[in-house]
Amino acid sequence: MTPSSTGALAGIRVVDLSRILGGPYCGQILGDHGADVLKIEPPQGDDTRTWGPPFRDGVASYYFGLNRNKRVMRLDLTAEPDREVLLALLAEADVLVENFKTGTLEKWGLGYDELSARFPRLVHCRVSGFGADGPLGGLPGYDAAIQAMSGILSINGEADGDPLRVGLPVVDMVTGLNAVIGVLLALQERARSGRGQFVEAALYDSGLSLLHPHAANWFMSGKTPQRTGNAHPNIYPYDTVATDTDPVFLAVGNDRQFRILCEHLQVPALADDERYATAGARSVNRVALKAELEARMRALDGKALADTLVAAGVPCAPVLSVADALQHPHTRHREMVVEMEGGYRGLGAPVKLSRTPATYRYAPLTEGEAFLDAEFADNA
């Protein structure tokens, strides 16, 4: 397998020292878009190798989902000889991605100050829990704990239920995306200045950044946001609604869409009812409106209704399982499932570039000991 010569990041070399999710997700995205990513794991391997079942050849699916398009080698950074190997790799690298606890790399003489003095063009990206300083500086961060601290749990769940964790590691994943953005910004600036810089993406900051529109509502009203189940706090109907079969999620954002909905449900008078005629009125009177809609929709097949409404211009969708979503024809059309030799299957790259699309070159667990030759990579 050869390195990418066409990806947007072809020729960029990345040392990925990170473990678990946020950092590895960042490294995978960079690799998907052509960067030569060398993942350095400790002798025992990334912890997520054990996060299963399911397992394949003793390695968990969790690890497979985050470590595509990387070549892997193991170093014991507590040992001086292995730190020297790392320094030799960094001499050839453009980007370092790591998520060590603040102070660990510094203890080994590998902190940003030391590395930037030695490698002034290096972009050093750290994924951290809370940043290095401040009241919580240096503390470890974990997705669910940040969901709790950032207020996400408080607004997730049924209105009369307990706070509920979002059912996927949303903070870790968004932090990984923010790390990618930071790396790309730093590389763009380096093209002008010739100098790298320190990039930090903290889970705490990323968790807070997800609070729209709840933060905006609080800033304006001073009222603490509350849980609303599947319903949107500001607009309605933007909620799951029961049918004769599976529920349908309605995402009606304006008066025109609401009128079309009412016409297709054969209750056009609802669109002129003063309780529902405007977005603000529908939001205030959401309980009564949901009852009115369900009274009509409970006689209808959910999937057939969703197909009809979408075709008419009403944003909505059936509630699918993960298995159904991954096997949907449009998922295949959008190339969102990747298959590689050896039985690997994973999610595809969601960002599509017309001239330099993502490529899938290395399945997880591909071994590597050094960067690929830069001249070869540019002409492969």
Contacts of 73-78 with C-beta under 8 Å, sequence gap 24+, read 73/38, 73/39, 73/40, 73/41, 73/367, 73/368, 73/369, 74/40, 74/41, 74/42, 74/43, 74/45, 75/40, 75/41, 75/42, 76/42, 76/43, 77/17, 77/40, 77/42, 77/108, 77/110, 78/108
d(CA 372, CA 92): 10
Question: For residue 277, what are the CA distances in angstroms to 286, 306, 316, 327?
Answer: 12, 22, 20, 39
Structure token digits, residue 9: 């990041």
The catalytic residues are 172
- Helix 22-32 to helix 170-193 angle (10° resolution) is 50
Structure token digits, residue 291: 């009852």
Question: For residue 339, what are the CA distances in angstroms to 21, 28, 53, 125?
Answer: 21, 15, 20, 30
Structure token digits, residue 250: 């309605």
